[in-house]
A and B are shown apart, each in its own frame.
Chain A
Amino acid sequence: MAYTAQDFKSNQEVRWCPGCGDHAVLASIHRALPEVCEALGYTKERIVFVSGIGCSSRLPYYMDTFGFHGIHGRATAISTGMKVANPKLSIWQATGDGDALAIGGNHFIHAIRRNIDINIILFNNQIYGLTKGQYSPTSRLGMITRTSPYGTVENPFNPGALALGAGATFFARSLDSEVKLSQDLLVAAAKHDGTSVVEMLVNCVIFNDGAHATISDREHRADRTIILRHGEPMIFGKNKDKGLILRDKNLEVVTIGKDGIGVDDLLVHDAHCENVSIHNLLVNMQYPGHPVALGVIRDVKERTYDDNVRDQVLEVQAKSPIKCMDDLLHSGATWVVE
Chain B
Amino acid sequence: MQHKVIDMQNVVIRFAGDSGDGMQLTGTLFADASALFGNEISTFPDYPAEIRAPQGTVSGVSGFQVHIGSGEVNTPGDFCDVLVAMNPAALKANAKWAKPTATIIIDSDAFDEAGIKRAGFTTLDPFAELKIEDRNIIPSPITTLTKESLKESGLDNRAILRSKNMFTLGMCFYLFNRDLDYTNDYLEKKFKKNPALVEANKKVLFDGFNYASNIHAIANTYMVQPAPQEKGVYRNINGNQATAWGLMAAAEKSGLPLFCGSYPITPATGILEELAIHKNLGVKTMQAEDEIAGICTAIGAAYAGNFAVTTTSGPGLSLKSEAMGLAMITELPLVIVDVQRGGPSTGIPTKTEQTDLAQALYGRNGECPIAVIAAHSPSHCFDAAFYAGKYAMEHMMPVILLTEGFLGNGSEPWKIPSMKDYPAIKPPIIDSSEGAFKPYHRDPETFVRKWAWPGKAGLEHRVGGLEKNPDGVISSDPINHEKMCAARAEKVARMANFIPDQKVIGADKADVLIVGWGGTFGHLYTAVQQMQSEGKSVALAHFDFINPLPKNTAEVFARYKKILVCELNSGQFVDYLRAKLPDFKYLQYNKVQGQPFIVKEIVDAVNNIL
Contact = CB atoms under 8 A, between A and B. Distances in A.
A332 interface: yes
A53 B300 CA distance: 16
Nearest to A46: B455
B461 A74 contact: no
B195 interface: no
A66 B252 contact: no
Given A86-B454, A328-B245, A337-B232, A81 B252 contact: no
B560 interface: no
Interface stretch (B120-128, B279-287, B547-555, B588-596): B279-287
Interface stretch (A128-136, A140-148, A236-244, A308-316): A308-316
A67 B291 CA distance: 23
Contact of A77 (B38, B281, B300, B458): B300
How many chain A residues sit at the interface, stated as a range, is 35 or more
Interface residues of B, number: 70
Interface in A65-107: 65-71, 74, 77-86, 88-89, 106-107
Interface string B284-297: 10101110110011
Given A45-B459, A71-B326, A86-B304, A336 B233 contact: yes
Given A64-B460, A74-B292, A332-B235, A325 B248 contact: yes
Nearest to A64: B460
B477 to A, nearest CB: 16
Contacts of A326: 418-419
B172 interface: no
B308 A86 contact: no
B587 interface: no
A330 interface: yes
Given A84-B297, A86-B304, A69 B289 contact: no
A70 B280 contact: no
Of A82, A312, A324, the most chain B CB neighbours within 10 A belong to A82
Nearest to A80: B297
Interface string B445-457: 0000000011111
B169 interface: no
Nearest to A74: B296
B284 A46 contact: no
Contacts of A334: 233-235, 416
Contact of B464 (A69, A317, A329): A69
Contact of B463 (A69, A79, A324): A69
Given A71-B326, A85-B305, A330-B416, A313 B284 contact: yes
**Among the interface residues A61, A68, A332, which one has the most CB atoms of the partner chain B within 10 A?**
A68
B281 A328 contact: yes
A82 B304 contact: yes
Given A70-B326, A106-B293, A317-B282, A45 B463 contact: no
B78 interface: no
Contacts of B456: 45
A78 B104 CA distance: 55
Contacts of B454: 45-48, 66, 82, 86, 89
A65 to B, nearest CB: 6
A110 interface: yes
B261 A81 contact: yes
A106 B290 contact: yes
A44 interface: yes
A328 B248 contact: yes
A32 to B, nearest CB: 18
B292 to A, nearest CB: 6
Contact of A60 (B290, B298, B326, B464): B464
Nearest to A78: B300
B462 A69 contact: yes
Nearest 4 A/B pairs, CB to CB: A69-B464, A81-B300, A81-B297, A320-B280
Interface of A: 10, 12, 43-48, 50-51, 53, 60-61, 64-71, 74, 77-86, 88-89, 106-107, 110, 309, 312-313, 316-317, 319-320, 322-326, 328-330, 332-338
17 contacts: A67-B460, A68-B462, A69-B463, A70-B464, A71-B323, A74-B293, A81-B302, A81-B308, A82-B304, A84-B284, A316-B279, A323-B281, A325-B252, A326-B418, A333-B235, A335-B234, A336-B232
Given A68-B300, A77-B293, A322-B278, 11 more contacts: A44-B460, A46-B455, A60-B462, A70-B464, A80-B297, A81-B299, A84-B259, A86-B305, A317-B279, A322-B280, A337-B231
